Amino acid sequence: MARRIPFQILSKAIAPRAFGALLLIVLGALLSGCVSFQSIRIVEGREIADPGDTLEVGRTTLGQVLSLLGAPDKLVELQGKDLLVYERMVLDEKRLSLGIPVADIWGARIDFSSYGTLIRYDTLALFFSPNGVLQDMVLEKGSIQPFLKVLFTEM
Amino acid sequence: MKASGCIIILVVTALSAGCLVMGKNKECQPFDSGELERLVPGRTTASEVSGIFGSPRQVVKMSNGNAYIYKRSVAKGTALWLLIVSLGNYDKQSDQVVFFFDNNDILTHYGASLDADKASYGLPF
């Protein structure tokens, strides 16, 4: 016949850290549905590396750029120049919700939630003359900007 | 029910409440990037490129001719729910080939980025 261990002896027998972890799991189970944290990340496109000195305005050709960076994500003709754009999009969303579902017994619902969504772009824009020579280039690395700092900065 | 029994039920419920979802989306354009070796800039024509790779996804007017764009993509999504925390990650990567033609529809340049197989499952950090 199996011997039953009283709860007090069991709680003393397990290490305090394990008991803390157990407490967290129990609290999590009790709070699920009332408190939630959500984190979402969406990435579209490959990493845009800084071309550094490998591209030289007035000398680098379209063929060299295509063999170095591959196919661009966007192509546009702009006032007689050809614009090649390499782009990567990174979306980050964080959401925190606190709610107590007392609508059935009280008539009101206590609910607090906040969220922030930030879309950042890494963009390399290259302008070429009609004869295929690089005329200008612009690199913007949006993804290195910190999430909270950018989110709370006024435009 | 005794306290130990309640805790066991809560722990089992909490641990079994987690859920993992993995999904995959594909935008397919059936071109064979291995055929790129058959192309010769300065000789291959736009109609030959269309014959090999099929109809382009997009045609763009450039300053000195046209560009044909072929594109396909793979996206992999992961979602994980653990008690009060839910995490989602979506990674979309593409294979893209761009051909540049002059005003006589002769291939001048082409570029290829083959990254679709780099799309991966993961967590948002």
pLDDT of A30 over the 70 cut? no
- 3-state secondary structure at position A91: strand
pLDDT of B17 over the 70 cut? no
Instruction: Return the pLDDT at A120.
Output: 93
| Predicted complex ipTM exceeds 0.90 | no
CATH code of the domain covering residue B97: 3.30.1450
- The mean pLDDT value of chain A amounts to 85
Residue B76 counted as domain residue: yes
The pTM of the whole model exceeds 0.80: no
Per-residue tokens: A117? 């969504």
Instruction: Return the pLDDT at B14.
Output: 64
Instruction: Return the pLDDT at A103.
Output: 64
Q: What is the DSSP string of chain B?
A: --HHHHHHHHHHHHHHT-EEEEEEEEE-----GGGGGG--TTT-BHHHHHHHH-S-SEEEEETTEEEEEEEEEEEEEEEEEETTEEEEEEEEEEEEEEEEE-TTSBEEEEEEEE-GGG-------
Map tokens 């029910």 to a residue. B1
| Residue B39 at interface with chain A, using a CB cutoff of 8 Å | no
Given pLDDT bands bounded at 50, 70 and 90, which one contains residue A59? very high
Lowest mean pLDDT among A26-30, A141-145, B20-24, B69-73: A26-30
Residue B13 counted as domain residue: no
pLDDT of A42 over the 60 cut? yes
Minimal CA separation from B34 to chain A, in Å: 15
Mean pLDDT of B87-103: 96
pLDDT of A2 over the 60 cut? no
Per-residue tokens: B77? 């999504």
Map tokens 């979402």 to a residue. A40
- CB contact residues (below 8 A), chain B span 42-71, against chain A: 60-64, 67, 69
Residue pLDDT, tens place only, A69-98: 999 999 999 989 999 999 999 999 999 988
Lowest mean pLDDT among A16-30, A72-86, A108-122: A16-30
Given pLDDT bands bounded at 50, 70 and 90, which one contains residue B53? very high
Of A39, A63, A69, the CB nearest to B109: A63
Minimal CA separation from B121 to chain A, in Å: 11
Interface test mutation site (partner B, options A3, A4, A5, A7, max chain B beta carbons within 10 A): A7
Mean pLDDT of B65-76: 96
Please give the residue range of the domain that contains residue B88: 20-118
Query: For chain B, what is the domain count?
Result: 1
pLDDT of B22 over the 60 cut? yes
Residue B68 counted as domain residue: yes
